Structure 1
Amino acid sequence: MKIACAVTVSLVALTGCGTQSENKKADSPAAVAADPVTFSFYFSGSQNVKDLWDTLIPMFKKDNPEIDVQAVYLPSGTGAQPTYDRILAAKKAGKGSGSIDLYEDGINVVTQGGKDDVWETLSTDAIKNLANVEGKTMQDVNQMAIPYRSSAVVLAYNSEKVANPPKTLDELLEWIRSNPGKFAYNDPSTGGAGSSFVTTVLYNGLPEEAIHNSDPSIMSEWDKGFTVLKDLGNYVYGKGIYPKKNQGTLDLLQNGEVDMIPAWSDMALQQLNEKLLPESVKLQQITPGFNGGPTYLMVNKLSEKKEAVYQFLNFVLSPEAQEVIVNKMNGFPGIELSHMSQDVQNKFSGVADGFRAFNLGDLGNEINKRWQSEVAAQ
């Protein structure tokens, strides 16, 4: 019995030692894989924007397995403003970032967020490849946003039906009146192509600097433009039918229901390349040009995941990622052309000329409200 007890005690001791050793091994940094850092990225746009991020995010993840990008897609016209409102509400309530670390949108939201102090100031200290972006572009947004890609609104038209497309806004307005039902633009609150057309009409004849004026006093200068837009309601598609989203008017052009629309250059080029639009569709800029410019990425100032976000943004501004943007979006790169391959430099040499960058601050929302009440509701 003594021998049996001694053996039992020895076995217990050995088992205890073995368990303790295994526990130490399991607790070691080499054995315990740290959970990846996850940050949320909210973005809006048409399907081509979603397709882009569905390509870029896995590329980033492959080389950065320690970071997860939780992407939340907001289709055009379905949630951009509520998302910004959520960021601002969380800040005011002292609830941090509202679980939104990185956000994509246009210049109006950059400006609005600057006033509300919700965007982080960015620098090359944290994002090395930010040095690849033109300095003037960053100065225009006070270092609060990254212009990761750019495009322009142009006229897209059926060349089999339109031999001599309009070259100026006045010629376009006359063409619309002379060809009733053959022109369409989308509800401006649901997509940038329609918004660009409306804004270009409102600012026609105003001083060039007006397109950078966010002072509400300029709203009184819109009266003439809204009179034009109301009158055009009798000549546009369906005598006042305004499709939803940028894709809505592209569908009408594809089906031959209209012969001319304002469209984003990147969307139209992509769909031409994919044979979704007929070869007869051609693109042309007018004078004065429709608006265009960058789409921006903004970092929530109250995000607790900034280091991971900065690592992701550094990748987005790399020539490798920018090449994907050019190929998939047919958009202009966000970084200076000198940092891109020679093929890309040749492709975009002079292409970006002609369009104008509007910066109206919060006035874009006022335009949409007045358009809904005075144009869409008539």
Structure 2
Amino acid sequence: MRRHVPIGRRLLSLALLSALVTAGCVDDGRTSVTDPASLRWDEVVESARGTRVVWRMWRGDPSINAYVDGWVAPRLLELYGIELRAVEGQGPELVNQLVVERSARAAGSADLVWINGETFHNLRGEDLLYGPWAGRLPNAALIDSASAIIMLDFEQDPAGFESPWGRVQFALIYDTTRTPEPPRTVRELGEWIRANPGRFTHDQSFTGTAFHKVVMYALAGGVEQFQGGFDEIRYQAGAERLWSWLGEHRTAFWREGTVYPAGAAELHRMFSNREVDFSMSYNENEVVSKVRQGILPRTARALVLRDGTIANAHYLGIPFNSPNPAGAMVVADFLLSPEAQFEKLKPEVWADGTVLDPARMPAEWRFRFDALGRDPRSIPLDTLRRYAVPEVAPGYHERLSQEWRERIRAAPR
């Protein structure tokens, strides 16, 4: 996942650049391998055996960290002798790191990166990704290739430079004891906010920006108004409707819209502490895992607005200067395996959606996925599909995130 601002605005200080370059030049003991483009898959696997793979990813959720560190890493070590080391690195920081390494001709500090949307756009624009490679993975044959949400990343063709590994959908979270009849549309949500001042807010992260996009789509009459690449005129019209809606409701937000929680974890805490009556997530199943972990109340449920809520996929990329692209490919292929996809789908693990087509799975795995069942708190699959809308070009997300922050800073306190 992923805090995104235009790359031209992300210049690091000279001191930090020097520090990053120095860090990139440190020999961490990884073994460089032959470019896997010239190898058969069995040779790729053999080249990856016994190596270390450094994976830069979002480390902000304990459930995800536990899945990666406590389940994926041991399985990779068992199957391939690969030592997986997951480290923090996302969005602007990741892009800057790779820009610095290229400028300094430094050794790559990562082999695999968790990306999507704006980050993929910026990495591809700067020619910072290795590839194409994703189509060579044996488990790529199992991907649900009929799903535009999986096969297009914010309207971008991955073109083999990234491999999908999870699918999610934005959802609001409410408490059935506090809000037995929750709003089901943006219009109804606005009415609820005005009738219950101080009981609603969103966070400052990518989840909050996703909420802004959901509202912007609804006010414009649908996501279709923004499809087909970024358009300045369409953006200005949509953004003005959004700013007007937010301005109309701002004083009815928590603390009159003068401060906002930093991220979804803080918003979840506020919701659980009854400071607000709604939380939100970029994963429709997060309510299930967080209830089981005791983070959210047992009466918490998720809902998708009938105007449409955003669904997208997350992906894995390989940096242009990865010291171990073969190892990265083997890890990415394993993460696409039915075994790994099934494990992360479990409600008690992560509850992250699969990118696989059940019809393409071996029969035994198809049965296991079917038998997994769905938690009563889960949104029915037909409801999710009915109201799912795709992401639009990355420019919309970047501009909304940037301009919202500017407006909040300029707003009277």
Q: Does 1:337 align with 2:353?
A: no
In the alignment, the residues of structure 1 paired with residue 236 and residue 228 of structure 2 have an alpha-carbon distance, to the nearest angstrom, of: 16
2:60 matched to 1:43?
Answer: no
Partner of residue 390, structure 2: 357
Candidates 223, 231, 246, aligned match of 2:264? 246
* Structure 1 residues 61 and 212: alpha-carbon distance in aligned structure 2, compared to 1, 3 A threshold: farther
Q: Is the 8 A contact 1:201 1:229 kept in 2?
A: no
Shift of 1:43: 0.2
Q: What per-residue deviation string (whole Å, max 9, x for no partner) do you get for residues 48-88 of structure 1? A: 222221121221112111x22221035xxxx5311222113
- Report deviation, 1:307: 0.9
Contact 1:229 1:375 in 2 (8 A): no
CA deviation string 1:11-43 (max 9, x = no partner): xxxxxxxxxxxxxxxxxxxxxxx9942232100
Deviations 1:88-107 (A, max 9, x none): 3323x162664122110222
SS in 1 for 2:179: coil
**TM-score (norm. length: structure 2):** 0.75
Unaligned 5+ runs, structure 2: 1-47, 375-380
* Matching residue of 2:13: none
Contact 2:170 2:310 in 1 (8 A): yes
How far off is 1:122 after superposition?
Answer: 4.0
CA–CA separation in structure 2 for the residues paired with 1:351 and 1:342: 23
Distance 1:96 1:359, change over 3 A: farther
Moved more, 290-299 or 200-209: 200-209
Within 2, Cα distance between the matches of 1:123 and 1:39? 16
Change (3 A) 1:276 1:94: closer
Q: Structure 1 residues 148 and 277, CA, compared in 2 at 3 Å: closer, same or farther?
A: same
Name whichever of 112-121 and 207-216 sits farther off.
Answer: 207-216
**Equivalent AA in structure 2 for residue 169 of structure 1:** V
1:351 Cα deviation after fit: 6.0
Separation of aligned partners in 2, 1:80 and 1:293: 16
Q: Report the equivalent of 2:339.
A: 320
Distance in 1 between the 2:228 and 2:269 partners? 32
SS at match of 2:394: coil
What amino acid is aligned across from residue 235 of structure 2 in structure 1? M
Pairing 1:89–2:105 present: no
Q: Is the 8 A contact 1:123 1:130 kept in 2?
A: no
Query: Helix, strand or coil for the counterpart of 2:86?
Result: strand
Deviation at residue 123 of structure 1 after TM alignment: 4.5
Q: Does 1:151 align with 2:162?
A: no
Alpha-carbon distance in 2 for matches of 1:35, 1:279: 44
Going from structure 1 to structure 2, the CA distance change for 1:52 and 1:218 (only over 3 Å counts) comes to farther
1:278 equivalent to 2:297? Answer: yes
Deviation at 1:344, TM superposition (A): 2.3
Give CA deviations for 1:261-310 in whole Å, capped at 9, x if unaligned: 22232322211122322122111111222212211111113323111111
- Residue 76 of structure 2 corresponds to residue 60 of structure 1: yes
Shift of 1:321: 0.7
| Aligned residue in 2 for 1:368 | 401
Whether the 8 Å contact between 1:107 and 1:359 is mirrored in structure 2 is no
RMSD: 2.4
In terms of mean alpha carbon deviation, does 318-327 or 96-105 score higher? Answer: 96-105
1:72 is the counterpart of 2:93: no
What is the aligned length?
336
**Which one of 160, 175, 180 corresponds to residue 197 of structure 2?**
180
Deviates more, 1:350-359 or 1:295-304: 350-359
> In 2, distance between residues paired with 1:72 and 1:224?
40
Q: Check 1:355–1:376 CA distance in 2 against 1; reply closer, same or farther (3 A cut).
A: farther
- Whichever residue aligns with residue 93 of structure 2, its letter is P
Q: 1:309 aligns with which of 306, 328, 341?
A: 328
Alignment CA distance shift 1:58-1:166 (3 Å): same
Gaps of 5+ in 1: 1-33
Asked whether the 8 Å contact 2:223–2:389 carries over to 1, the reply is: no
Structure 2 CA distance for partners of 1:351 and 1:113, relative to 1, 3 Å: farther
More displaced 10-residue stretch of structure 1: 114-123 or 241-250: 114-123
Spell out structure 1 runs of 4+ moving beyond 6 A.
none
Aligned partner of residue 203 in structure 1, secondary structure: helix
Q: Secondary structure at 1:135's aligned position in 2?
A: coil
Secondary structure of the corresponding residue to residue 55 of structure 2: strand
Judged with a 3 Å threshold, the aligned counterparts in structure 2 of structure 1 residues 134 and 281 are, in CA distance, closer, same or farther, namely: same
Match of 1:227 in 2: 244
Query: Structure 1 203/238 Cα, relative in aligned 2: closer, same or farther at 3 Å?
Result: same
Deviation of 1:197 (Å): 0.8
Match of 1:166 in 2: 183
For residues 330 and 35 of structure 1, the distance between their equivalents in structure 2, rounded to whole angstroms, comes to 30
Task: Say yes or no: does 1:269 pair with 2:288.
Answer: yes
CA contact (8 A) 1:290 1:355 kept: yes
Identical pairs, percent:
18
Query: Would you say the 8 A contact 1:158–1:280 is kept in 2?
Result: yes
